[in-house]
Chains A and B, each alone.
Chain A
Amino acid sequence: MELAEILFLAFASIAVVTAIFTVISRSPVISALFLVINFGALSGLYLLLSAQFLSVVQVIVYAGAIMVLFLFVLMLLRPEKEDKYFVVNRKMKIFAVIVGLFLFGQLAFAIFASDIGQTVSIESSRSEQIGKIAYIGENLYTTYLFPFEAIAFVLLVATIGAIVISKKKLD
């Protein structure tokens, strides 16, 4: 077995297990911590796909900024008080799992029915070139300049909106 395959298996199993634990663990803080590990495993998978820039951004933005925001709000809202609301609604959970497995079957069927996985193979020189920050930046500031500016405006609006919403008292 190659090193890449071993790494893929390791990162993929970490991602799967932590995703499941994020959903099933009772305490929201534990969920958030499992989600951080999941984001770390995804960052490793991006590295395996030689997307270096996105791998670093995943750690900084998701595992850093977004999860800090989640944990901050969780600590602020005293999540342990909510524990009594988690009444076991067994019927609904079983139904949700059945729906999920059905959807997964559909997706897996679609993936295996198309022969795209067998026909394409990764060209390591090409994919290493496009994952680099220089290549991404070059494309971002020339061809995709307008979406880039638009996303900057979206972030500005979201910042102002978050401040306004959390400040005002709704009634």
Chain B
Amino acid sequence: MIQLDYFLLLSAFMFIVGTIGVLTRRNAIVVFMSIELMLNSANLTFVAYSSFFGDVVGQLFVFFVMAVAAAEVAVGLAIIIAIFRNKLTVNIDEINILKW
């Protein structure tokens, strides 16, 4: 039988890959994709715990996380489109108008 540890390790690895993506990539859309990767790895942890402990709350929480992720992607991509209209770039090194 597969142990809980393996699911947690896989999820940790995917989270770290997402973190490295956020730190290294300069395209705002790819940064968004890396954030989706991190959200999904957290979801995997939730489902693994929920299934191993026989508790449905983890799966309900994943359902809510998915809804929030959908909302986040819609608003985030709208912001990226608005920025692209103004500055004609999605490179996050050049989007620094909030920098003091």
Contact = CB atoms under 8 A, between A and B. Distances in A.
Interface class of chain A by DSSP: helix
Interface size band for B: 35 or more
B20 A23 contact: yes
Contacts of A85: 26-27, 89, 91, 93-94
A159 B5 contact: no
Interface string B1-43: 1111111111011111111110111110110111011001001
Interface in B72-100: 72-75, 77-86, 89-91, 93-94
Contacts of B77: 69-70, 73, 162
Given A82-B27, A100-B19, A136-B63, A107 B12 contact: yes
Interface size band for A: 35 or more
Interface of B: 1-10, 12-21, 23-27, 29-30, 32-34, 36-37, 40, 43-44, 47-48, 50-57, 59-60, 62-64, 66-75, 77-86, 89-91, 93-94
